[in-house]
C-alpha cells in the first residue's frame, strides 16, 4: 500500500468539476423559469412572469458563483496544504490480468493467455520472428500475361 498526499488542487480543474456538477440542476431551473415566464406572459399575470424571469436568470449566476467559490477554495487548500500538510490517500496497486471477464462480478476468472500460443511464428523468449510468412500465390487471372510469355521463350 502506498500513501499519497494531495498538495494542491488546480483552480481550473476545480472550476470544471463544479461546473459539471451544477450544470444539470441549473438547466432544470432555467427550463422551469422559461415555462413560468411563457405561461405568465400568455395569461397576463405579472407576478408569474416575474418569478419565471428570476428562475431563468439565476442559474447563470449560480453556476458562476459556485465556480468562483470552488476556485477560491482550491487556492486556499493549496496554501494551507503546503503549510500544514494535505489530504492523505492510501492506495493499493493491483496487477491482475483478466481475460475471461472480471472476477467478483458474476464471472469466473479465466486462465491467463499463453505467451507463445501454438502455431505462432514468433519466439516469445527472444522476441524474434522464427519464420517469414509468405503471401499466397496470385491466381492465374491476376498474373501479367506478358511476363508469362517472356518466361516461356
> At which residue does the C-alpha cell 483478466 appear?
98
Question: pTM for the complete prediction?
Answer: 0.53
Return per-residue pLDDT of the chain as tens, 153 residues. 888 888 898 999 999 999 999 999 999 999 999 999 999 999 988 888 889 989 999 999 999 999 999 999 999 999 999 888 888 888 887 765 555 555 555 555 556 655 655 556 655 555 555 556 666 666 665 555 555 555 555
Domain map (residue ranges) of the chain: 2-90
Neighbouring residues of 111: CB distance < 8 A, sequence distance ≥ 6? 99, 100
Identify the pLDDT of residue 12: 93
Which string of b and e fits 57-90 if b means at least 16 CB within 10 Å? eebeeebeebbeebbeebeebbeebeeeebeeee
How far CA 100 is from CA of 74, 93, 113, 116, in Å, comes to 42, 21, 10, 18
Phi-psi region for residue 114, left (φ > 0), alpha (ψ -120 to 50) or beta? Answer: beta
Amino acid at each position: 500500500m502506498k500513501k499519497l498526499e494531495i498538495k494542491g488542487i488546480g483552480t481550473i480543474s476545480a472550476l470544471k468539476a463544479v461546473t459539471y456538477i451544477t450544470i444539470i440542476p441549473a438547466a432544470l431551473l432555467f427550463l422551469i423559469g422559461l415555462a413560468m415566464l411563457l405561461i405568465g406572459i400568455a395569461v397576463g399575470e405579472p407576478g408569474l412572469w416575474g418569478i419565471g424571469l428570476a428562475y431563468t436568470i439565476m442559474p447563470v449566476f449560480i453556476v458562476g458563483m459556485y465556480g468562483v467559490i470552488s476556485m477560491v477554495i482550491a487556492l486556499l487548500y493549496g496554501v494551507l496544504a503546503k503549510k500544514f500538510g494535505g489530504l492523505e490517500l492510501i492506495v493499493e496497486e493491483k496487477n491482475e490480468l483478466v481475460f475471461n471477464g472480471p472476477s467478483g462480478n458474476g464471472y469466473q476468472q479465466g486462465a491467463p493467455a499463453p505467451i507463445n500460443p501454438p502455431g505462432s511464428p514468433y519466439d516469445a523468449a527472444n522476441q524474434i520472428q522464427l519464420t517469414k510468412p509468405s503471401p499466397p500465390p496470385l491466381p492465374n487471372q491476376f498474373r501479367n500475361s506478358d511476363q508469362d510469355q517472356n518466361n516461356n521463350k
